[in-house]
Amino acid sequence: MSQDEKKDPGYVLGTETDGTDSFDTITALVAADHEHDIKLRTMSWQKTACLLAGEQVCLAIMAQSWSLSVLGWVPGIITMVLCGLLFWVTSITMHKYIMKHPHIMDICDFGYHIFGQSKTAYAFSAFMMLANNILLIGFHVLTGAKVLNTLSDHSMCTAVFSIITAVIGIVMSMPRTLQHISFMSMFSSACMGIAIILFLVFAGIEEAPLYGYKGNYPTAGLVKTYAFPLPGTTWVACMNAVLNITYLWVPQILFPTFISEMERPQDFPKALAVLGVISAILFIVPSAIGFRYLGQYATAPAFGSLGVVSYKKSSFGFVIVPTLVIGVIYANVTGKWIYTRVLGKSRHSHSHTVIGWGVWGVIMVGVWVLGFVFAEIIPSMGDFLSLLSAAFDSFFGFIYFAVAYWQLNRGSLFNGLGKTAMTLLNVLIMMVGLFLLGPGLYAAVEAIIADYSGSVTPAFTCANVAI
């Protein structure tokens, strides 16, 4: 490899391929990886499915009842179904593209390729990935502090609870392979499932919810549901509800890294199908049931609307496991990118050396500390989700994959009715991405400004943030 190639930010991709020898290339990559002490390309599609579920079955599911309370049944369910359809289409496009370029290791390499092996695109993708992932780690530090506050009746300073969450996250982030984390993901999904089931049971047996953003029950009247947004609902509120739904359905920023650690990356659609079924059930059904019982009193997360304290604690308490595990998944993906930039292809990057493990440990501490800082300065969980969805999901959930589709099908975009329909669908995908990036980002920023102009929890505070 020449020195010029090593300076190229995309050099980790290795020899380019036109797709004709992809399976031979994959075989060679797996064989080379298995010669190392630390083997990365070891995940089966079943373990990948566990990892996908562990990342997707998260607290954001419990924000969807609030989205329905803002949008109403018709726009809310349509948005959920449309997001699910676009999620499947864009994920399959990503997989097809990676199978043509199997050296791709992460979303940065993906961006480098689809924009014509552009160093600028690589640098932009890297910045966006780091910002997105570290903000998400911060979101989970904030969530951990909320859980601990709720369970302990605010027995300690909230900043201390955030530090405790971050320290536990650092310890859990020490495994360097996603295969190890896939085992954690099974427990994460199970705990989140228990939390959802308990919430639905408690919401069903309570006579009425207690807390709502427009006042405690029955200040806003009897619980009711409605087909469309209530009179007086602002455009910013509707847009933020849409962004909350979009955020939940857009995890593709991690997918290239997951695929790169599969022993048979060609099997990724099997894992994706499992995730699709799980998502279709868990993202829509609990949200609809929650809206049915909470109505206009729905909060984000919905646990906060429960009136009986013991109900709230026993259901929300299980969220601590997925909170930590999902933070670990994002820390692992982020750490691997930084790690490769620091150690490159030296023996430390794939062997059990003091330098290798030392660098990994320092990186994990660094990303969790940065996450902790963001957790302390962003005022609310809803702001987190809306900002992430508008600023990052617009690219990593829509725009990148519309471009990838164009790259895969240049010269045959309108060959036949089926291809024409897919091309038009990808035009829609591009338009959705641009809409989220423009009006969506504006709405997210407006919400943050509104929070800071009102009564908002100050940074690095001891104030109680329990739900």
Indicate if the pLDDT at residue 163 is higher than 90: yes
Indicate if the pLDDT at residue 6 is higher than 50: no
Mean pLDDT of 347-375: 91
Phi-psi region of 71 (alpha: psi -120 to 50; beta: other; left: phi over 0): alpha
- The CA distance from 369 to 426, in Å, is 38
Q: Poorest-confidence range of 236-240, 275-279, 335-339, 423-427?
A: 236-240
Phi, psi for 68 (deg, rounded to 5)? -65, -35
Question: What pTM does this model have?
Answer: 0.90
SS3 425: helix
- The CA distance from 368 to 372, in Å, is 6
pLDDT-based confidence at residue 377 (cuts at 50, 70, 90): confident
Question: How much is the pLDDT for 462?
Answer: 81
Residue with tokens 């089931």: 197
Distance, CA of 235 to chain centre:
25
Q: Tell me how far CA of residue 268 lies from CA of 47, 92, 376, 455, in angstroms.
A: 10, 9, 37, 46
Which domains, ranges and CATH numbers included, belong to the chain? 48-453 (1.10.4160.10)
Indicate if the pLDDT at residue 14 is higher than 80: no
Question: How much is the pLDDT for 25?
Answer: 85
CB 452 within 8 A of CB 142: no
Listed residue (358, 351, 353) closest to 37, CA to CA: 351
Indicate if the pLDDT at residue 433 is higher than 60: yes
Phi, psi for 43 (deg, rounded to 5)? -80, 135
CB 212 within 8 A of CB 219: yes
Listed residue (225, 299, 229) closest to 79, CA to CA: 229
In DSSP notation, 117-186 reads S-HHHHHHHHHHHHHHHHHHHHHHHHHHHHHHHHHHTS-S-HHHHHHHHHHHHHHHT---SHHHHHHHHH
Tokens of residue 117, six digits: 């092996």
Q: How many other β-carbons are positioned within 10 Å of the β-carbon of residue 189?
A: 24
Tokens of residue 43, six digits: 């995940």
pLDDT tens for 409-428 read 998 999 999 999 999 999 99
pLDDT-based confidence at residue 38 (cuts at 50, 70, 90): confident
Fill in the DSSP letter of residue 458.
P
CB 209 within 8 A of CB 55: no
pLDDT-based confidence at residue 444 (cuts at 50, 70, 90): confident
Indicate if the pLDDT at residue 7 is higher than 50: no
Question: Where does residue 120 rank: exposed (0-12), middle (13-18), buried (19+ CB within 10 A)?
Answer: exposed
Q: What percent of the chain is predicted at pLDDT more than 90?
A: 69
- Which position has the higher pLDDT, 241 or 19? 241
Question: How much is the pLDDT for 339?
Answer: 93
Q: Poorest-confidence range of 11-25, 88-102, 306-320?
A: 11-25
Q: Tell me how far CA of residue 288 lies from CA of 61, 65, 327, in angstroms.
A: 11, 6, 27
Distance from the first to the final alpha carbon of the chain: 55
Fill in the DSSP letter of residue 348.
G
CB 145 within 8 A of CB 298: no
- Which position has the higher pLDDT, 264 or 33? 264
Indicate if the pLDDT at residue 389 is higher than 80: no
- The CA distance from 360 to 263, in Å, is 23
Q: How many other β-carbons are positioned within 10 Å of the β-carbon of residue 465?
A: 20
- The CA distance from 239 to 245, in Å, is 10
Amino acid of residue 104:
I
Question: How much is the pLDDT for 382?
Answer: 61
- The CA distance from 465 to 467, in Å, is 6
Amino acid of residue 310:
S
Q: Tell me how far CA of residue 446 lies from CA of 79, 234, 248, in angstroms.
A: 22, 12, 21
- Which position has the higher pLDDT, 384 or 97? 97
Mean pLDDT of 445-463: 71
Question: Residue 183 contacts by C-beta under 8 Å, 6 or more apart in sequence?
Answer: 50
Indicate if the pLDDT at residue 357 is higher than 70: yes
Question: Residue 343 contacts by C-beta under 8 Å, 6 or more apart in sequence?
Answer: 349, 355, 356, 359
DSSP count for the chain of H helices, then E strands = 19, 0
- Which position has the higher pLDDT, 400 or 347? 400
pLDDT tens for 40-62 read 889 999 999 999 999 999 998 99
Tokens of residue 116, six digits: 């014509």
Listed residue (261, 251, 245, 265) closest to 98, CA to CA: 265
Q: Poorest-confidence range of 66-75, 151-160, 379-388, 389-398?
A: 379-388
Listed residue (302, 321, 320) closest to 312, CA to CA: 302
For the chain, the average pLDDT equals 89
Question: How much is the pLDDT for 360?
Answer: 95
Tokens of residue 447, six digits: 């919400």
Mean pLDDT of 78-98: 96
Question: How much is the pLDDT for 190?
Answer: 95
pLDDT-based confidence at residue 24 (cuts at 50, 70, 90): confident
- Which position has the higher pLDDT, 16 or 304? 304
Indicate if the pLDDT at residue 385 is higher than 70: no
pLDDT tens for 107-149 read 999 999 999 999 999 999 999 999 999 988 998 998 999 999 9
